[in-house]
Structures are given as C-alpha cells and as structure tokens.
Amino acid sequence: MFSRRRPVYTGGETDGPVSEGADSSRPLSPYAASKKAAEVLLHSYHHLDDINAAVLRYFTVYGPAGRPDMSIFRFIRRIAEGEPITVFGDGTQQRDFTYVDDIACGTVEALGVAGYETINLGYGSPVALNDVIGVIENAVGKTARIEYQERHPADPMLTWADISRARELLSWTPEVDVEEGVRRTVAWYLENRHWAKALR
C-alpha cells in the first residue's frame, strides 16, 4: 500500500478533500467550466420542471475498456509496448483514481435520489502519479521510459473527493484500490492487446 501523505499544495483553495459545497464558480480550465455549466443548466430544469436530478462528480475514472486518452490507459499501453510515456510536471501531482466498477455501482444507486443533489464519486484517497506509474511497471513487468514536460497551468496538483455525502445518500463506498484496479486493468489490456495496442 502507498503511504498516504497529506498534500501541501493543490493549486486551489484547500489542501484537503473537496466537498460538493466548495466554491466552483471560477473553474481554471474549459473542461471544468463545461462541467460546471452542465450542473447549472440541470439545476434550472430541476427548478422549472420539478425533475429529480443527481449531479455525479466522477474523479479520474479508470479500468478495463477505459478511455484511451486517460493517463492510466495511455501509460499501460505505452509501457507494455516499450514506448516512452509523457508526464506533465514532475509526477508528484496526485489524483483521486476511481475504479470503473465502483463508479458504475454509485451511478446506479444515484438513480433513486430525489430532488437535486450534487454527489462526489471518488475513491477518497489521492495517489501521486509517480506511484501509479510504479504500480503499472510492476503489473506489466517493464520499466517505464518517462519524458517529463512542463505542467499545464490548468492542471491541478491535487484532486481529492470528500465522499461522505455519497456514503450518506447512496450507502456507497468504493471497494477497489489503485493497486488492485491497475492490476485488473493491465490484465485486461494484455488479454486484448492484439487490438487495444492500436488505440490512441
């Protein structure tokens, strides 16, 4: 297991887990702005049409058959195929990696939510990117060739979900940690590499 170090800098307003009530009115990237806009639009429809709406904030989802543009899939593919990986920054940035099966279970549970609720779905414990690369190396059985580049100013140093509301409203708790989730994802990739290695 990783040592869980308390982050000292996040590039944001807090160095702890982010709750659903934290200020999100000034997003730093177009991607974050688009998500905030969707939440606000959904609230308008909830208000006007009295529809139930559960806004689920997913934190760095990964797993078998995952998006090929996400870091864990890209790293697995490139390390397995002997290609270099690119890390923006020094790799100490931390992400709240959440396994896809846990996300699916939380999403299904949220179908029963009444009213308008915003709910974080994350593992609740951030892990440094360098540590995740090490887990991938062990699972694949190869050493990564890492090319470090400058970190983008819109890239936060930390994502960390406060999942207490998900536990309260959904009776949901994630079960798959990064070590196990990466092992499962690597196994899936190696089983399907005859076609998965062509994904970009």
Residue at 138: amino acid letter: N
Residue 157, token pair as written in the block: 């140093």
- Give pLDDT, residue 14: 53
> Per the domain annotation, does 23 fall within a domain?
no
> Per the domain annotation, does 71 fall within a domain?
yes
**Domain tally, the chain:** 1
Say how far residue 30 (Cα) sits from the centre of its chain. Answer: 17
Contact 152, 198 (CB under 8 A): no
Please name the residues in contact with 157: beta carbons below 8 A apart, sequence gap of 6 or more.
7, 9, 10, 11, 89, 92, 93, 94
18 secondary structure, DSSP code: B
> Per the domain annotation, does 15 fall within a domain?
no
Model pTM?
0.90
DSSP 122-178: S-SS-EEHHHHHHHHHHHHTS---EEEEPPPTTS-SB--B--HHHHHHH-------H
> Per the domain annotation, does 63 fall within a domain?
yes
Give the CATH number, domain containing residue 118: 3.40.50.720
Please calculate the CA angle 146-148-149 and round it to the nearest 5 degrees: 145
- Give pLDDT, residue 154: 87
Residue at 35: amino acid letter: K
> Per the domain annotation, does 39 fall within a domain?
yes
Task: Find the domain containing 184 and state its range.
Answer: 30-196
List, run by run, the mean pLDDT of 10-residue segments along the chain (200 residues). 42 72 91 94 95 96 96 97 97 97 98 96 97 98 97 92 98 98 98 94
Residue 165, token pair as written in the block: 């509301």
Active site residue ranges = 31
> Per the domain annotation, does 158 fall within a domain?
yes
- Give pLDDT, residue 13: 45
> Per the domain annotation, does 42 fall within a domain?
yes
> Per the domain annotation, does 21 fall within a domain?
no
How far is Cα 104 from Cα 188, in angstroms, rounded to an integer?
Answer: 18
